[in-house]
A and B are shown apart, each in its own frame.
Chain A
Amino acid sequence: MILETQTLQKRFGAVTAAADINLAFEREAVVSLIGANGAGKTTFLNMVTGYLRPDSGRIRFDGQDLVGRAPREITALGLSRSFQIPQLFQSLSVRENLLVAEAIAGAERVEEATDALLDRFALRDYASRAAGLLPEGVRKLLDVAMALVARPKLLLLDEPTSGVAADEKFGIMDLVMAAARGQGVTVLFVEHDMEIVSRYAGRVVAFYDGRVIADGAPAQVLEAEEVRRYVIGERAAHAAA
């Protein structure tokens, strides 16, 4: 198990964002986290990456305890994330964004590594454009590319295709998955688009009201009654008229 959480709890005042989350993820797995807004997926992500501190519970990554560590340390341990709203360096060019990431990661040949990444993510055409002026899909790609610079063991993607035009979603996921799989990276991605989920995930974990309500193969989870009602939003067949 590359990542394990035990009895994770988090409350914000009267709201329970995480109630007794126990999850374990295997190396090189591709897992999708689904759930309506406010169900607890982002809170889970934020706790694992060190942005939030759980009220109680443990998080173990690759044999190390994560609770109480700063995001910086967690990244150094090999856990990287991308962001729902891409977190880029707006005034720097795409190339410079990657150069910054490479320099921080301690790459020996910063320029070469950056060039390789530009090609791998089909960003070469945008290399000199300021990150603040990119189309949304390209922003997402850059955001993920930067997360991969540090050669993480586990990559957490927060809604990698949200805000992206429908016809671009698969293109982006293909690039991201190819790059990740190529490095043997475990991938956890939060997603709302069920087509993307069923196409790319080997396992699905469904959240609702701070709890995990389903966990298993995509076909089963996406058909489960509770998931259909609370996540996908379909009325039960026998709903009162």
Chain B
Amino acid sequence: MSALEFILALALAKGLVVLGLLLLMRTGLVSFGQGLYFGLGAYSAALLAHRAGIGDGALMILAGPACAAAVAAVLGLLLARYREIFFAMLSLAFSMILYGMLVKSAALGSTDGFNLHAKTFAGIALPAGGERRVFFAVSVVIVAIVTWALHRYLASHWGRRSAAIRDNELRVEYLGASVYRVVYVNYVIAAALAGLGGAFAALAVGHVDPETTYWTTSGEFVFIAILGGTGNVLAPFLSAALFEALRTVANQYAPNVWQMTLGVAMLAIIMFLPGGLWTLVRRKAA
């Protein structure tokens, strides 16, 4: 797999996580803890191979979102009550709980993590040396389908209600709808997307470690979301690709100013190009 293919594979995987963030931001929420589900997706895919002896890529790809959605179904019950800063930081805290557990778990490789290999896909044996190519192709197809589905969702009355919630929750309640329910559903969908992304990322890299759930990883996803803006379902993938490309270059030539560059870029976008932030910022009442 070439460097370019690798960047694209990661861009697709991370783009999925950011797609989930897009949904949440359209609902008026910013999650600083998608790393939790990204990590869950990655680890559940890897554990299938490591522990259950299942080396099938298709099952791994299913395990990611399934595991993530299951956890989100529980955590969402609590989180869907919160907004703004609380929602952001609570989601962060939950991702740190998983981080803490993974780091202290010698059985799961602690900070080193462990590798994963997939030998088959949906039962069909994979060509040696060509596994990553197959997963890349599969991810392209699945990402296309999922993105299209989310686009339809956003255009449906559910999507419109989500935007309405972002603009004026109180009115939505007074019209007779449960805001909590919509937030909960969107939260679980975003988690499933992140879990799917995590599984793809694990397959692309061939390795999982706790860094996936660390809050700075979640911060990266937020940055990518802001960079691309939330106006279009394709934006997450384009901006993820840009991000990965830039990161590769930065690691090569200027690793010690990468974070600074991100910080400055984020400030610049917030101040001069709030196009991406426009859907996030609720206009204050006159």
Contact = CB atoms under 8 A, between A and B. Distances in A.
Q: CB atoms of A and B under 8 A apart anywhere in the complex?
A: yes
Interface of A: 49, 70-72, 75-76, 80-81, 85, 87-92, 96-97, 99-101, 103-105, 110, 132, 146, 149-150
- 7 interchain residue pairs of minimum CB distance: A103-B157, A89-B167, A75-B176, A87-B171, A104-B177, A89-B164, A104-B175
B172 interface: yes
A101 B283 CA distance: 20
A89 B168 contact: yes
Contacts of B166: 91
A20 to B, nearest CB: 27
B216 interface: no
Contacts of B285: 85
B174 interface: yes
A105 B175 CA distance: 7
B74 interface: no
A68 to B, nearest CB: 16
B167 A90 contact: yes
Contacts of A92: 160, 163-164, 167
Interface in B134-168: 157, 160-161, 163-164, 166-168
B170 A87 contact: yes
Contacts of A96: 160
Contacts of A81: 174
Interface in B160-216: 160-161, 163-164, 166-168, 170-178
Nearest to B174: A71
Interface residues of B, number: 22
Contacts of A72: 173-174, 176-178
30 contacts: A72-B174, A75-B175, A76-B176, A81-B174, A85-B285, A87-B168, A87-B171, A89-B167, A89-B171, A90-B167, A91-B163, A91-B279, A92-B160, A92-B164, A92-B167, A96-B160, A97-B164, A99-B160, A100-B160, A100-B164, A100-B172, A101-B175, A103-B157, A103-B161, A104-B161, A104-B175, A105-B176, A110-B157, A146-B171, A150-B176
Contacts of A88: 167-168, 171
A101 to B, nearest CB: 5
B169 to A, nearest CB: 10
B139 to A, nearest CB: 33
Nearest to B278: A91
A238 B231 CA distance: 67
A159 to B, nearest CB: 15
A101 B164 CA distance: 10
A88 B283 CA distance: 11
B161 to A, nearest CB: 6
B167 A70 contact: no
Q: Which of B160, B175, B282, B283 neighbours the largest number of chain A CB atoms within 10 Å of its CB?
A: B175
Given A76-B176, A101-B175, 12 more contacts: A72-B174, A75-B176, A88-B167, A90-B167, A97-B164, A100-B157, A100-B164, A103-B160, A105-B175, A132-B283, A150-B175, A150-B176
B177 A91 contact: no
Contacts of A150: 175-176
A101 B161 CA distance: 9
A146 B167 contact: no
A141 B283 CA distance: 20
A213 B21 CA distance: 54
Nearest to A77: B176
A146 B175 contact: yes
Contacts of A75: 174-176
A90 B174 contact: no
Nearest to A143: B171
B176 A90 contact: no
Contacts of B172: 100, 104
Contacts of A110: 157
B158 to A, nearest CB: 9
A87 B174 contact: yes
Contacts of A80: 174
Q: Which of A49, A71, A85, A100 neighbours the largest number of chain B CB atoms within 10 Å of its CB?
A: A100
Contacts of A104: 161, 172, 175-177
Contacts of B282: 90
Contacts of B175: 75, 100-101, 104-105, 146, 149-150
Q: Which of B160, B171, B173, B174 neighbours the largest number of chain A CB atoms within 10 Å of its CB?
A: B174
B54 to A, nearest CB: 43
Contacts of B176: 72, 75-76, 104-105, 150
B168 A90 contact: yes
Contacts of A105: 175-176
Contacts of B161: 100, 103-104
A170 B181 CA distance: 40
Nearest to A91: B167
